Amino acid sequence: MASLVDLVLVVDTSDSMKPCFEHLKQNLSSLISPLLQANFTVRFGLLGYAAGKDRTGNIIYDHTFIGGSGHELLKNLYSNQLSSDSYFTRDLHVLKTALSNLNPQGNEDTFLALDIASDFPFGPKNTTRRVIALFTDEKMEDGIKEHEPAAKLENLISKIYSRGIGLFYFGPHSSHLDELSSIPGCQITPVNSGDGLKNLDFSKLLEQIGKAISMSKLQSGLENTWEKAIYGQDRWDFTKSTNSSNREVVLGVGESSKLDTTEPLNNIRIKLKWTADVDLDLHAFIRRKNGNEEHVYYANKQARNIRLDNDAGIGDLGGDNKENIKITSIEDVEVIIFAANIFSLGGSFADYDGQIIIRTNNGDKVTVPLSSPKTANWCVISKLTNNSNQGPTVININKVTNDTPQIDSF
């Protein structure tokens, strides 16, 4: 009879962690091979975690499981009719797909994530090796609530020990992490802060996890009573979780959305995406508060604090086309207009299945569809204004022109 393993990957999905998602996906075979060789049957769990603030400044959370994301899945985790299918899978392809769908955003709360993962519906204690592997590039106390959750760290440690969970933790060193290391069998690997764990040898580390699990011993005895939902997440209503009404705004033409400035805006990402077989180019026309003007596009990809990543859709290539601009500060910016130029004139801009998506480190997501029905060389899609009275604001413009856009005209 094969031995059983329930392995939950807990992945920080805050902004800097994107490199980790792909490294995990590409190297899962290194983790699984030692277990299969030792005749283990493995169920995989996933918890991606991020945090931000809604329009009124309240903290909200985005938790992603094997079965998807949202309040209902968190609520069901603490229901009496819990089904493990939403939290575990034996299908490696399902796990890889879930990792591919993780969306880097906002901040994090590692204490809460570890608590939620510890409440997963693991198999029986005396027949299943229970394992959590957590990956983050931020200190435990650097999350959205800082040191506050650490007040219940002792409760969390007690639960992990009581449930017989083996913990592998990849994260920057901190005093709270030292406390976590008191759990018997806990293995901690210190990492650099803020780099998405891009310098880790994932193949080697995941292989070591697989070997360590295969050599671990089962916990004897029946399941003990443990403290569920240490941070009260079993009592949350839908307003505490990310949903379309509190995190994402889709603007109609002429509509605007003010960006959250609770924390300094040091990571604004503007993505132009389209699927039609046309070559669009994302342009940013910038005016600084001192009156200087700059232009960022495929032939001049960088200005101060503003950078374009690549030129997509070359040769009128259809599919998942994306061009991204990252802004690390708008302190000296008065206004930016974001425009799409079409390399070879085709139909109307509304035909290209395009949109601009603006995300910020404070959790805002503003979508501006490319909706102009007119044909022209250019479409000015949106404008970001930054004045002292209103604060940074995104406006849906969607106006076309055959001439290079001038800021004052929009």
Residue 117 CA, chain-centre distance (Å), reads 17
CATH number at residue 28: 3.40.50.410
Residues 6+ positions from 362 with CB-CB distance below 8 Å: 52, 53, 106, 259, 260, 261, 262, 263, 265
Element housing 280 (H / E): strand 280-288
- Answer whether residue 187 is part of any domain: yes
Question: Considering all CA atoms of the chain, what is the largest pairwise distance in Å, rounded to the nearest integer?
Answer: 76
Residues 6+ positions from 56 with CB-CB distance below 8 Å: none
Q: Mark whether 32 and 53 lie in a shared domain.
A: yes
Q: How many helices (H) and strands (E) does the chain have?
A: 9, 21
The predicted model scores a pTM of: 0.66
- Answer whether residue 42 is part of any domain: yes
Q: Mark whether 193 and 280 lie in a shared domain.
A: no
What pLDDT was estimated at residue 244? Answer: 56
Q: How far apart are CA 358 and CA 332, in angstroms?
A: 19
- Which of 240, 275, 309 lies at the terminal end of a domain, its last residue? 240
- Answer whether residue 213 is part of any domain: yes
Here the tokens at position 317 are: 């290539």
Q: How far apart are CA 367 and CA 237, in angstroms?
A: 26
Query: For tokens 């070359």, what's the residue?
Result: 314
The candidate with the shortest Cα–Cα distance to 250, out of 369, 81, 382, 151, is 369
Here the tokens at position 134 are: 């957590």
Torsion angles phi and psi, residue 259, rounded to 5: -85, 145
What pLDDT was estimated at residue 346? Answer: 65
Q: How far apart are CA 33 and CA 10, in angstroms?
A: 20
Here the tokens at position 223 are: 């399941």
Q: Report the sign of the C-alpha dihedral through residues 155, 156, 158, 162, in that order.
A: positive
Domain range for 332 is 251-409
- Answer whether residue 298 is part of any domain: yes
- Which of 211, 240, 269 lies at the terminal end of a domain, its last residue? 240
When divided into structural domains, the chain yields a total of 2
Q: How far apart are CA 407 and CA 181, in angstroms?
A: 56
Element housing 158 (H / E): helix 153-162
Annotate 51-84 with b (16+ C-beta within 10 A) or e (fewer): bbbbeeeeebbbbbbbbebbbebbbebeeeeeeb
Q: What is the pLDDT along the chain (410 residues), one digit of tens a residue?
A: 568 999 999 999 986 787 899 899 999 999 999 999 999 999 999 999 988 776 566 888 999 999 998 899 999 999 988 889 999 999 999 999 999 888 777 788 999 999 999 999 999 998 999 999 999 999 999 888 989 999 999 999 999 999 999 999 999 999 899 999 999 989 999 998 888 898 899 999 999 999 999 999 887 777 888 999 999 999 999 889 876 566 567 788 888 888 888 789 999 999 999 988 889 999 999 999 999 999 999 999 999 999 999 888 888 788 888 999 999 999 999 999 999 998 776 678 999 989 999 999 887 888 899 999 998 999 999 999 998 777 899 999 999 999 999 999 99
What pLDDT was estimated at residue 56? Answer: 65
Q: Report the sign of the C-alpha dihedral through residues 237, 243, 248, 254, in that order.
A: negative
DSSP 8-class letter at 159: H
Q: Mark whether 212 and 69 lie in a shared domain.
A: yes
- Which of 176, 205, 240 lies at the terminal end of a domain, its last residue? 240
DSSP 8-class letter at 220: P
